[in-house]
Structure 1
Amino acid sequence: MKNHRKFLLSSISIAVLTLIGQAQAAGQEAAPAAAPSDAVQKEIQQVVVTGVASARGVRKLDSAFSITTASEEQLKQAAPISTADVMKLVPGAFAESTGGQSGANIQVRGFPSGSDSPFVSVQMQGNPLYPVSTLSFFEGSSAFRLDDTIERVEVLRGGPSTIFSSGQPGATMNFILKKGTDTPEGSVRFTTGTGELRRVDVFYGGKISDGWYGTIGGFYRNTHGVRDSGFPSDDGGQITATLTKKLDQGEATFYVRRTDDKNAFYTGVPLISSNGGHTISEFPGFDPLKGTLMSNEMRRFTIEAAPGKTLNYDLGDGRGLNSTVLGMEFDQNFNGWNVSNKFNHFDGKLNTIAMFTGNNPLSMADYNSAALATNGGTTATATYLDGTPVAANQQVVQAGLWAVEKKLKSFTDEIRVSKEWIQDNTLTVGGYFANYSSDDVWYLGNSHLMTAVPNARLINVTLDNGVIVSKNGTDGSVFYAPIASYDGSNTALFVANEWKVNDKIKIDGGVRRERQKLDATISNLATGDTDNNPLTVYNNNTSMPTGSNTALNRTDSATSFTLGGNYKLAKDMSVFARANMGHTFIAFDDLRNAGTQAKVDDRNFLPTPKIKQYEVGFKTAGQLYSAYINYFHTDFEGIAFQQILSNGTILNSVSGSKGDGVEVELAVRPIRDLSLSLSGNWQDSKYKDNPLTEGKLVQRQPKLQYRFTPTYRIPFGEGNSLKLYGTYTHVGDRWADQANLQYLPSYNTVDLGALFTIGEKIEIRLSGNNITNELGLTEGNSRLTTGGSGPINARPLFGRSWELSLAYRF
């Protein structure tokens, strides 16, 4: 750990000393430098539009906030395995994308969150796909798929994001679509790889007629995944189209995206923990890098929902996305008044049909002993579904096959009017409006008994007194089955002003006032026996709606502000400082968890979280090097946490946190065609305001993480070249839980890639992830509150995987 920290701090020190020398020489006469390469010139002139008052953006080097950008090529070189995995490019963020394409957990610097991504908003064209970043069984990255229609991504951390759009105080990930131009362009890309991957991406864009431009593109993909369950894990595709009209002093763009995709969701697998969790090793007979408990035997499962009511589900549907997004962005200048408007409509189903691991592994004999102690009898018989006996020393696990049906709809609109009201002062006034809903049907629990081996077999257990403990593998009832409908609305008004003091100094500030109203209708629940047979203990305590409902509602208001400034040290070098105060409102799930209107109204039980952030930073870009370095401080108050245990118990708590850290993005280009990049962060963030967790490290966030990426391009003449690249990633140790009981050790991974370009039309790319087969954990057993040594369930990295693609551009 100390060596990693020394390596990072030494790199930062060298970069800072170099940059100080450069700053001192900035005003002195110097010999003419070599002209920047095209890639460097693009970086120097790059304009960002996320978190900026003007719809036309500001140069990245002149922005007074922390923002990371990645072009289409940078995204492909990073080879993200999911949308959430894009966040590995962002210092200060930590994405746990080992669940597959959907259902990621994303942590933001010092912000306390246990799962999902409550402090990350996902946008397309500057519009939030869904106004709330996280609900139970939904987080924003699950509603977005990457393909060749994406031009770039901008990820804003803190800064002025508390004022604009949905007012996200954490991180905003904004994907920018390609638009048609006067020069037609198109591409076809074929990809194959690990897990019998078969994927095709297409794109075409160009001019339609005078002033009109369009694009269309998408993908289709089918694969069994790195963890082969025996059936296709990811299967589906999407299509996206844009239509742009150029105006005299502006433009309007319409877009539509249709996605129909299903993705397997992976939770923990059996592992051996020793040395207090500091050492993780393979569970006998289970490959933690490629194995999954899921199998064809359990793929199609049944839920006993009520007497006479059974429901059938398919694990192959996983955590899918079936959605349509319609949107428009408009920007026009009217005699010095700049008017912009952005809206979108989202309508989709994001169901979760997945396995969730429960208790830690144990022997069949120990399971039988526990069953006899609970249900009486003297002998237990365990057999596979085909009737053959299960050995007493066979290791077994319990995992719930859960079904959550979720229908989401939303409409968002943001309008801004800007005017230079006095010289060098531009005032922006705007409003943000959102309406959104969620209709939920849940069936949690439904525990199944299975062997602790890849592609597990289900187990039946009967006792000699007639008790049936497990039937067709089912050994537990549905323990939580709410039916709920939610509606929400947000209205926000904001004012921002940018003042250009002189050629070197810019100051900006803004205030936002927001109001949220939530309404919920939630079924009341009772437990019962679905077959009126006390001997079938696996379904005796099934959670079922009673037919009556509870109506809950709440209205909240809050104010946010931001104040920042930028000082130019040289043409392409600046420092900035910023302070902001933001908030998050409670969400639909908080109403349901509270259960009664009295608790909903109790601001101590359900507070409105408030966040204060401060940061200072340095930015520069040139032919030889680029650097983006900033220090941050966060102070968080009043966030409600929930944890659902394996037995259905729901734990609730309220905490805050405080943290400090440094983020870096460095690139050195010592010779032509060679680039050495380093990005990462160090932070020290701890809980406060709760005696149970006071002083504990914020869960699931490493103190130190970084990525080192060398890239070397070898030209062959006539437009041919070979680019070789790789990334060494270090993720420091973390705690899986708030109490710091489940230790997650540090890990290091190596990714490699090569891009062979033939002229301007043909590209061949080979990329490999985790080529050293590093066994690293991203999540402990979130269904338990204890840690320690012995057999455990935890979620590790995917093992070595490869992708090979062939692209033709025209």
Structure 2
Amino acid sequence: MNKTALLLFAAQIALVSPALAEEDAERTAATASATASATASGAKAPAAPPKEIFSTGVAKGRDRLDSATSTSALKGDEIQKFGQRSLGDVLRAMAGMRVESGIGEGNNNYTVRGLPLAAGGSKYMQMQEDGLPVLEFGDLFNVGTDVYLRNDFTINQIETIRGGSASTFASNSPGGLINLISRTGDVEGGTVQVSTGLDFDEKRLDFNYGGRLGKNTRFNIGGFYRQGEGPRNIGFDGWRGGQVKLNVTREFDGVGYVRVYLKYLDDRSPTFAPYVVNITGTNDKPAYRSFAGFDLRHDSVLSSYLGPVITLDQNNQLAALPMDTGQHAVSKSLGFEAQFDVAGWTVTEKARYASNGGDFSRAFPNTANTVSAFAAGQAGAGATASYASGPLTGQAIPGGSLINGNGLLALYFVSYVRARSLNNFTNDLRASRVWELPGGKLTTTVGGYVATQALHTTWLHTAMNIDANGDGDTAMVNIANAAGVNQTLNGYYSFGRASSLFRRAFDVDYRVIAPYGSVNYHFGKIAIGGSLRYDIGRVRGQLIGADLGQGRVGLTSMDINRDGVISTAETRVAFLPFDRPAAVNYNYGYLNYSAGVNYRVAEPFSVFARYSLGARANADKILFTPVVDNATGAVANDRDKADKVKQIEGGFKFRNDGITLNATAFHVTADDHNVLNGSANRTDRTYKADGVELEGTVQRGVFNLMLGATYTKARITLDRLDPTLTGKEPRHQPDWTFITVPQVDFGKVAAGASIVKLTSSYAQDSNLLKMPDFTTVGAFLQVRPTEKLRLTLNAQNLFDTMGIFEVNQSTIPANGVGFARSVNGRTISGAVRFDF
């Protein structure tokens, strides 16, 4: 069926939603009837395959075979077999997901189905915890949603829905949903695990316990604490902190339940960025190699010899901020959930208030070159370099020397973002009812969603010259001109960026109201349905920044070291121009809808088709751009307020005798307003993508195999700011992603591997320089000497692969010096777990 025919068909059958959960009961009754008949005739009744109930992004929990959606689920126990990985690394191994990890614990990049990664975070997929968003917008500058999420034993399951009804059962989620579902104490018992890095420095304690407080009351409490240098050489304890989560559930027999959630997160972890790499060969077949003295997989520019971050703070007062802050996420949340049956309706209420904040620092590159060329670039012919920190402080660096084996110096900008408040409140109330009709069952759902999201952040920067030295020994470097006059101050090139760019303060508040509803009709083997959602947003606040079209405002001179002399570096001091605020004052509204049909051809096999239109409200990516009128705060064009995503999808699902196979073909079009990370380059584009998602499992005795593959062919169909990019492939978009997870379990001994392969993609939208394909392998070996004791050996990136996720250059650099970000190198850890 071609795309037009599918669109017309979907439009005729109504608006969205998967098949009815109630058909589970019918199928159970039918199975029972068949079993009774078989027993009466003396025949052995066939065993029905177990149902896979999926609840994220749908009206009610339902068997995946009865749902006109593309979904995946991963059990918490399966996640933990492969060690205490970041959420990004966990989701890399889920079918249909495209994840650029390696940045750190958080701020990784997530998308699906060729939806663009023009900047970072998770723009089109909303991340949830227990059915409510962690942040209303998943791609806020420098503070992605995953900085407030952790992978630990409290996770019972991760569910993902790609496309489908996600856009109508949640706001700002046209691409899909990622939902971390917590354990709630329905399984009594506890777990304590101690783990340690065997070839890297990290000590970690995990725990979880669930049990009863009475006949109708249960609870679950869990969390972790860790400390250590982490998977890369940084010279200090970059990982330190943890979280605690608690929930208590009170059940009311035959009526419903009430549940309360508490969470406290206070955790630090480094942020890794593109680092120097040797790029040679041709654009189409480049070779990426680590320079001597700096391993792209294991090293970082972070070091105890760098910093502090000397800059003017959010009040324009001189400050020295700790360089080792990294991603310091602090979150305190209180959640409430209730479900009751009232007069034939099932009413579900979910609410959460979260106090989110913290400081977030990262260092990202600007330029790098040989000692002589780098010095000349900053201070002219005859310029010289010398160490400004570390054990060689004051020592000259000869122009032609191969310091650290590579002879390189670099200018890095250090971003220090203070999240004064990312607080949010979310409430989702819905009611569903099943109506018995002569020909089948009609399920209706109505709901209302209300949310607030604060965006109160301040961007502070400094700039420093450093050498390219690994093993946590990076040091700061001074540059002097031919006359011996320092162009830097103790290694600082400027106290901001090289200009006043990105010295910003956001004080903006978002309000979202979204009524929604769905109608689903199930008759025989067919289920059709539709859902609608209308998002209404109110955006108010102000911006302070030097880059609001006001010229050189925001740059000044200041005697930073209080010596009575203004040095060259001290003429480059960025400040916040509080006397020139810009207003933010606009409203938005848009309709989301989805329509689907599911046909249960036979017990183990179903087919489905769906059409969806969803949108994502543009948050901070349109602020500090010409889209917002600085005087009135208005946004004149509705097209700039939200980016639409249209999806046509169809496929089949098969589940029988230990084998499952799901396949979905998709056609996607999307809008994107964005700003490239680390630059002022805006994007205003439309995209299209076509592809196929494949997912399957095989269970045979002690052997289990999970397979996944995604094929995507994407194009920039229109670039309104740079027409030369129209028709190009989006950067970082591999044609194929393959996932293989084989496991064997003999009871006393279990082992497995997680293999992820990405084919090549372009480094930039100009489609010149390629990033090569790569494969990473994770593995585990688990021994169970007793029923309660488990000993586990884990390896991440077992074969120490250099897997390139990001390259700053668009072509082979003339001097062979580029910047790239790789997956972390091999790390091996051991764990002892006790269940009780």
TM superposition score normalised by structure 1? 0.89
Cα contact 1:304–1:539 (8 A) shared by 2: no
Tell me what 1:651 maps to: 681
Q: Identity of aligned pairs, percent?
A: 23
Cα contact 1:741–1:788 (8 A) shared by 2: no
Q: For 1:323-347, what per-residue CA distance to the aligned partner results, in whole angstroms no more than 9, with x for missing partners?
A: 1111111111113111111111111
> Which one of 261, 266, 282 corresponds to residue 260 of structure 1?
266
Cα contact 1:742–1:788 (8 A) shared by 2: no
Structure 2 counterpart SS, 1:75: helix
CA distance in 2: counterparts of 1:251 and 1:659, whole angstroms? 43
> Which one of 527, 530, 533 corresponds to residue 506 of structure 1?
527
Write the mapping of 1:211-290 to structure 2, written as runs, cut at 5 A. 211-247=216-252, 248-277=254-283, 278-290=286-298
> Which one of 473, 487, 512 corresponds to residue 490 of structure 1?
512
Aligned partner letter, 1:596? D
Q: Do residues 146 (structure 1) and 162 (structure 2) align?
A: no
> Which one of 743, 746, 752 corresponds to residue 725 of structure 1?
752
Q: Do residues 797 (structure 1) and 814 (structure 2) align?
A: no
Structure 2 counterpart SS, 1:369: helix
Question: Which moves more between the two structures, 493-502 or 307-316?
Answer: 307-316
> Which one of 667, 685, 691 corresponds to residue 633 of structure 1?
667
Q: Do residues 734 (structure 1) and 761 (structure 2) align?
A: yes
Write the mapping of 1:88-487 to structure 2, written as runs, cut at 5 A. 88-114=92-118, 115-181=120-186, 184-193=188-197, 194-247=199-252, 248-277=254-283, 278-304=286-312, 309-359=317-367, 361-373=368-380, 379-385=383-389, 386-393=393-400, 394-406=407-419, 407-423=421-437, 424-444=441-461, 446-454=462-470, 455-465=473-483, 467-478=485-496, 479=500, 480-487=502-509
Cα contact 1:580–1:612 (8 A) shared by 2: yes
Q: For 1:647-701, what per-residue CA distance to the aligned partner results, in whole angstroms no more than 9, with x for missing partners?
A: xx511120011111111111223x4211232112011011111123211112212
Tell me by how many angstroms 1:276 deviates: 2.8
Q: For 1:507-554, what per-residue CA distance to the aligned partner results, in whole angstroms no more than 9, with x for missing partners?
A: 121111111111121124322112398962223233212222121211
Question: Which moves more between the two structures, 142-151 or 530-539?
Answer: 530-539
Cα contact 1:165–1:414 (8 A) shared by 2: no
Structure 2 counterpart SS, 1:728: strand
Q: For 1:714-734, what per-residue CA distance to the aligned partner results, in whole angstroms no more than 9, with x for missing partners?
A: 24xxxxx21111133211111
Segments of structure 1 that go 5 or more residues without pairing to the other structure are: 1-25, 716-720
Structure 1 counterpart SS, 2:622: helix
Q: For 1:226-265, what per-residue CA distance to the aligned partner results, in whole angstroms no more than 9, with x for missing partners?
A: 1120101111011111110102321111101100101111
> Which one of 757, 770, 774 corresponds to residue 747 of structure 1?
774
Cα contact 2:94–2:739 (8 A) shared by 1: no
CA distance in 2: counterparts of 1:604 and 1:58, whole angstroms? 37
Aligned partner letter, 2:154? T
Q: For 1:88-122, what per-residue CA distance to the aligned partner results, in whole angstroms no more than 9, with x for missing partners?
A: 13333211110110111123221112222112211
Segments of structure 2 that go 5 or more residues without pairing to the other structure are: 1-30, 401-406, 547-552
Tell me by how many angstroms 1:378 deviates: 5.1
Aligned partner letter, 1:159? G
Tell me by how many angstroms 1:312 deviates: 1.4
Q: For 1:745-772, what per-residue CA distance to the aligned partner results, in whole angstroms no more than 9, with x for missing partners?
A: 1111222211222443111111111111
CA distance in 2: counterparts of 1:170 and 1:308, whole angstroms? 40
Question: Which moves more between the two structures, 162-171 or 510-519?
Answer: 162-171
Tell me by how many angstroms 1:419 deviates: 1.7
Q: For 1:351-375, what per-residue CA distance to the aligned partner results, in whole angstroms no more than 9, with x for missing partners?
A: 212211222x2111112222333xx
Tell me what 2:19 maps to: none
CA distance in 2: counterparts of 1:799 and 1:405, whole angstroms? 30
Q: How many corresponding residue pairs?
A: 756
Q: Do residues 674 (structure 1) and 735 (structure 2) align?
A: no
Aligned partner letter, 2:586? R
Q: 1:787 to 1:499 in 2, by over 3 A?
A: farther
Q: Do residues 558 (structure 1) and 571 (structure 2) align?
A: no
Tell me what 1:5 maps to: none
Cα contact 1:306–1:530 (8 A) shared by 2: no
> Which one of 540, 543, 547 corresponds to residue 519 of structure 1?
540
CA distance in 2: counterparts of 1:752 and 1:583, whole angstroms? 39
Tell me by how many angstroms 1:740 deviates: 2.5
Write the mapping of 1:702-717 to structure 2, written as runs, cut at 5 A. 702-715=734-747
Structure 1 counterpart SS, 2:282: helix
Question: Which moves more between the two structures, 233-242 or 671-680?
Answer: 671-680
CA distance in 2: counterparts of 1:218 and 1:46, whole angstroms? 27
Question: Which moves more between the two structures, 732-741 or 660-669?
Answer: 732-741
Cα contact 1:120–1:140 (8 A) shared by 2: no
CA distance in 2: counterparts of 1:98 and 1:676, whole angstroms? 26
CA distance in 2: counterparts of 1:244 and 1:604, whole angstroms? 44
Tell me by how many angstroms 1:135 deviates: 0.8
Q: Do residues 528 (structure 1) and 528 (structure 2) align?
A: no
Tell me by how many angstroms 1:786 deviates: 5.5
Aligned partner letter, 2:431? V
Q: Do residues 545 (structure 1) and 573 (structure 2) align?
A: no
Tell me by how many angstroms 1:79 deviates: 4.0
Tell me what 1:614 maps to: 648
Q: For 1:35-54, what per-residue CA distance to the aligned partner results, in whole angstroms no more than 9, with x for missing partners?
A: 68xxxx6xx32211101112
Aligned partner letter, 2:475? R
Tell me what 2:550 maps to: none
Tell me what 1:45 maps to: 51
Cα contact 1:83–1:142 (8 A) shared by 2: no
Aligned partner letter, 1:340? T
Q: For 1:439-485, what per-residue CA distance to the aligned partner results, in whole angstroms no more than 9, with x for missing partners?
A: 111113x2211111213111112225464212221113313321221
CA distance in 2: counterparts of 1:33 and 1:388, whole angstroms? 84
Once superposed, what is the RMSD of the aligned Cα atoms? 2.4
Q: 1:62 to 1:605 in 2, by over 3 A?
A: closer
Aligned partner letter, 1:683? T
Cα contact 2:372–2:383 (8 A) shared by 1: no
Q: For 1:180-220, what per-residue CA distance to the aligned partner results, in whole angstroms no more than 9, with x for missing partners?
A: 23x63111111111422111111111110131111111110
Q: 1:237 to 1:628 in 2, by over 3 A?
A: same
Tell me what 2:403 maps to: none
Q: 1:306 to 1:471 in 2, by over 3 A?
A: farther
Q: 1:46 to 1:516 in 2, by over 3 A?
A: same
Aligned partner letter, 1:667? T
CA distance in 2: counterparts of 1:245 and 1:560, whole angstroms? 35
Q: 1:540 to 1:458 in 2, by over 3 A?
A: same
Cα contact 2:777–2:796 (8 A) shared by 1: yes
Q: For 1:369-394, what per-residue CA distance to the aligned partner results, in whole angstroms no more than 9, with x for missing partners?
A: 22333xxx855353444211112133
Tell me what 2:67 maps to: 63
TM superposition score normalised by structure 2? 0.87
